[in-house]
């Protein structure tokens, strides 16, 4: 709604608004011709991004991420499970992406949004194929007990680039994750060991060493829209609804390509265009990594 605040007189503002609603594509193309986007950004610039760690006090790890007005809240809760027979030394990470009705006018209660299972699947595929987490680190007692990490991502405000924001918040929450110290009690159940618990030294924590996950290569992503000859990075919901060709590229911190989605769309993605997108993503990854590192070091100082 960038233009609404512009200091134009009322009548022309009405016209702009009407034009925008009636001819969204022409409205956008007029902007693109001037190399600017309706919200005032250059074509290849991503929106302002912020990360806030530890947003949910009751969770073991959490993060609140905003990209423009797209907001994601992620929380990880650790629970104990019996590992499966095939992989007795591995824990499990369950990723769920939710779009509650508050996030968008399209979602209504009782009818889950189409996008949410799609993004859930993409996220778990991406995180598993990036080999970011070693599931062995989630093991507690071989064959007996392992961590089940429930990672729930809630979209609080949907304004485009949902996957990017969701991935960033998932990654941020994982980097913030503090695994509680636990011990095995007499019944073979896993119980918490509180830090200031002086008298209960009899129970030795089983996971003294593994209180934080080692994140090996962190994946970051950037979604671009290809329209005619233009490439638009980090689209808003409005832009996504007008133009159909989306390309999402996931790179890890070492610059390796982890995944690339291009779900349909009318514009053929030429190799050159895709390479341009990869280049944009590479820049974006650096930016996001520095954001995340800054947040994490700030947390440590506290």
Partner 1 sequence: MAGKSGATPATYSPSLTTSDKKKKPPLFNEDWVRPDGRAFQQCRPAFFRTGAVNAASGSAYAEFGNTKVIVSVFGPRESKKAMMYSDIGRLNCNVSFTTFATPVRGQGSDHKEYSAMLHKALEGAIILETFPKTTVDVFALVLESSGSELPVIISCASLALADAGIMMYDLVASVSVSCFSKNLVIDPISEEENNQDGSLMITCMPSRYEITQLTVTGEWSTPKINEGMQLCLDACGKLAKIMRSCLKEAASDSQE
By CB under 8 A, name the binding residues for partner 1. Answer: 1, 56-59, 62, 69, 71, 73, 75, 77-82, 84, 86-87, 90, 92-96, 98, 100-105, 108-110, 124, 127-128, 135, 148, 150, 152, 154, 156-159, 180, 182-183, 185, 189-194, 197, 200, 203, 237
Q: Pick the closer one to partner 1 by CB: 8 or 197.
A: 197
The DSSP bridge pattern shows strands 92-98 and 145-157 to be parallel
How many whole angstroms separate alpha carbon 164 and alpha carbon 181? 32
Where do we find the tokens 């007189």?
9
Q: Pick the closer one to partner 1 by CB: 157 or 244.
A: 157
> How far apart are CB 189 and partner 1 at their closest, in Å?
8
Which of 173, 165, 170, 208 minimizes the C-alpha distance to 56?
A: 173
> How far apart are CB 74 and partner 1 at their closest, in Å?
9
Q: Pick the closer one to partner 1 by CB: 207 or 281.
A: 207
Return the biggest CA–CA distance within the chain: 77
Question: What is the DSSP secondary structure assignment for residue 102, as one 8-state letter?
Answer: G
Q: Pick the closer one to partner 1 by CB: 173 or 247.
A: 173
Residue 270: exposed, middle, or buried by beta-carbon count in 10 A (0-12, 13-18, 19+)?
A: exposed
Question: What is the DSSP secondary structure assignment for residue 227, as one 8-state letter?
Answer: E
Where do we find the tokens 């911190």?
253
| Cβ(99)–Cβ(123) below 8 Å | no
> How far apart are CB 36 and partner 1 at their closest, in Å?
20
> How far apart are CB 278 and partner 1 at their closest, in Å?
25
> How far apart are CB 159 and partner 1 at their closest, in Å?
6
């Amino acid at each position: 709604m960038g233009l609404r605040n512009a200091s134009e007189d009322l009548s022309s503002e009405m016209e702009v608004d009407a034009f925008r609603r009636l001819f969204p594509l022409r409205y956008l193309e007029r902007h693109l011709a001037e190399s600017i986007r309706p919200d005032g950004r250059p074509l290849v610039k991503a929106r302002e991004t912020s990360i806030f760690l530890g947003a949910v006090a009751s969770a073991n790890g959490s993060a609140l991420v905003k990209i423009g007005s797209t907001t994601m809240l992620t929380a990880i809760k650790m629970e104990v499970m019996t590992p499966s027979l095939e992989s007795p030394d591995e824990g499990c990470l369950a990723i769920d992406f939710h779009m509650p009705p508050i996030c968008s006018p399209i979602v209504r209660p009782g009818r889950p949004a189409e996008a949410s299972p799609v993004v859930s699947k993409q996220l778990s595929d991406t995180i598993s194929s990036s080999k970011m987490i070693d599931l062995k680190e989630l093991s507690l007692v071989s064959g007996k007990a392992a961590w089940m990490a429930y990672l729930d991502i809630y979209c609080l405000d949907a304004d485009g680039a949902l996957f990017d924001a969701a991935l960033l918040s998932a990654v941020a929450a994982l980097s913030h994750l503090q695994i509680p110290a636990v011990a095995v009690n007499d019944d073979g159940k896993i119980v918490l060991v509180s830090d200031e618990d002086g008298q209960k030294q009899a129970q030795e924590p089983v996971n003294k060493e593994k209180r934080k996950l080692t994140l090996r290569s962190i994946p970051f992503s950037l979604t671009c829209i290809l329209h005619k000859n233009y490439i638009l990075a980090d689209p808003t919901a409005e832009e996504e609804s007008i133009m159909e060709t989306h390309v999402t590229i996931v790179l890890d911190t070492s610059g390796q390509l982890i995944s690339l989605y291009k779900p349909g769309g009318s514009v053929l993605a030429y190799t050159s265009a895709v390479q341009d997108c990869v280049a944009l993503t590479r820049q974006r990854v650096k930016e996001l990594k520095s954001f995340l590192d800054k947040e994490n070091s700030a947390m440590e100082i506290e």
